[in-house]
Amino acid sequence: MQLKLTTKAQDGIVTVNCSGRIVFGEESSLLRDTVKKLLQDNKKIILNLGEINYIDSGGLGTLVALHTSAQNSGGMIKLVNLTQRVGDILQVTKLLTVFNVYNSEAEARESFRQVA
């Protein structure tokens, strides 16, 4: 299954709902291009990974690159609704220590408000 993205903006926070696979190639490029465009106007982004059923090293690299791009532009990306598989991969690769991860979109939104 290819990657499908839908976005919604609310209160200055953009949520990107991801569905499918984040793998090297078109899927990673789509995610990278979409989020980089969003970062131009929005500094608060939530990536909802609840419907991601597979992620490879290229996908992980894309997430790390987007995290770095957001920080360099004064923004922040938070991950929510990790599936067991994605959560395990982030834990094994020690990337859970890099990302801000929340159980729900509501928790991530609240964390943005607390920082403001």
Q: 101 pLDDT band (50/70/90 cuts)?
A: very high
Q: 114 pLDDT band (50/70/90 cuts)?
A: confident
Question: Is the pLDDT at 1 greater than 90, yes or no?
Answer: no
Query: How many Å apart are CA 2 and CA 6, to the nearest integer?
Result: 13
Enter the tokens of residue 30. Answer: 């789509």
First-residue to last-residue Cα distance in the chain: 38
Q: 115 pLDDT band (50/70/90 cuts)?
A: low
The residue assigned the tokens 């994605």 is: 86
Question: Is the pLDDT at 116 greater than 70, yes or no?
Answer: no
Domains in the chain, please, with CATH?
4-115 (3.30.750.24)
pLDDT for the residue numbered 92: 96
Enter the tokens of residue 2. Answer: 């290819």
pLDDT in tens, 14-59: 999 999 999 999 999 999 999 999 999 999 999 999 999 999 999 9
Enter the tokens of residue 113. Answer: 């408000």
In the chain, DSSP finds a helix count (H) and a strand count (E) of 4, 5
Enter the tokens of residue 82. Answer: 């990790």
